[in-house]
Amino acid sequence: MFKSVDEVVSRLAEERYIASREVATVVYLAAAMRKPILVEGPAGVGKTELGKVLAGTLKLDLIRLQCYEGLDEAKALYEWEYAKQLLYTQVLKDKIGEVLEGAKGLRQAVERIAQEEDVFFSDRFLLPRPLLSALLAPKPIVLLIDEIDKSDTEFEAFLLEVLSDFQVSVPELGTLKAKHIPLVVLTSNNSREMSDALKRRCLHLYLDFPDAEREMEIIRLKVPGADKKLAAEVVELLHRLRKLDLKKRPSISETLDWVKALTLLNVKSLDDALVTETLSTVMKYEADIRKAQQELKEYLAVRKAKVAQPAATSDKDFLN
């Protein structure tokens, strides 16, 4: 799929995803070793995005399974179409009557029905859910299992068979084996610790908030019209904000929203009055907004002091 780690970086960049070398290394290994990737990290650092972009880069179909509490095999793997089966039996009543014609006694009737049994438990009445469609896909695909930490431990245990052998057992049909081993990306917000058994089967990738330089790069890519100096200031402030004890730390998407908003409002520098008013795009709780305002004030004070010193005040400083 990929020839080298560098190729991963450049091809992900083509899909507008800025990957650090570490991310690229793990992706490369996963593709080459045919192992699932378990991506962990705070909300909004691009975990799900990684899965989507991978599919885009490799020009593969993406099958996504969103996990939630109470998700079970029936919803993730397959279901028998009970209603359709019943409908068919109703419609075929006469035909069934024909089959049973001349049967002597119940035993023989059951015998005859049993011979036709597999008609009703065939692919026709099997409703494949994401996991099964991923395994049965005629060409390689990317399987994204999102927020695995939201699912129950039972489901996680069930996933083990799928992830290690890429096969599932359907009692009526036997074992179904994957035609192509899919590239699997699992994401987790770490709201609960995943079992060691699952972790053992995956390569682990911890995505954290990007460093200032990479975040700048992301802004440049996603908000092409943004003022460079403003973007640098925003990134620096956000890095400070993320260190605070907040209910919800601002993620990359919120950075982008804010930069977009400020750019639209034609704000050129963070000491603008509009900045305080748009803080709500970054902070989602009242208490957080108050803290952010405080931090903003301090930041501006520090910056003013810096500007007062004539030497070494350029964009570079903000980047560092």
Question: Could you list the residues that contact another protein (CB under 8 A)?
Answer: 5, 21-22, 25-26, 28-29, 32-33, 35, 38, 40-41, 69-70, 82-83, 86, 90, 152, 190-193, 196, 199-206, 245, 287
Closest listed residue to residue 54, CA positions, set 77, 26, 87, 86: 26
Nearer to another protein, 8 or 219 (CB): 8
Mode of pairing for the β-strands spanning 37-40 and 203-206:
parallel
Report the residue number, 133 or 189, with the smaller CB distance to another protein. Answer: 189
d(CA 241, CA 235): 10
Nearer to another protein, 201 or 303 (CB): 201
Smallest gap, in angstroms, from Cβ of residue 248 to another protein? 13
Say which residue the tokens 């804010």 belong to: 258
CA-nearest of 180, 141, 146, 158 to 64 is 146
Minimal distance, residue 27 CB to another protein, in Å:
10
For the bound state, the minimum distance from the C-beta of residue 238 to another protein, rounded and expressed in Å, comes to 19
Number of helices (H), then strands (E), in the chain: 16, 9
Question: Least Å distance between CB 295 and another protein?
Answer: 14
Q: What is the DSSP letter of 209?
A: P
Shortest spacing between CB 219 and another protein, in angstroms: 24
Is the Cβ–Cβ distance between 166 and 177 less than 8 Å? yes
Q: Which is nearer to another protein, 86 or 100 (CB)?
A: 86
Report the C-alpha gap between 272 and 99 in whole angstroms. Answer: 83
Nearer to another protein, 161 or 317 (CB): 161
**For 281, which DSSP code?**
G
In the complex, least distance from residue 187 CB atom to another protein, rounded to whole angstroms? 13
Residue (25 or 66) nearer to another protein, CB: 25
How far is Cα 22 from Cα 24, in angstroms, rounded to an integer?
A: 5
CA–CA distance, 279 with 250 (Å, rounded to integer): 11
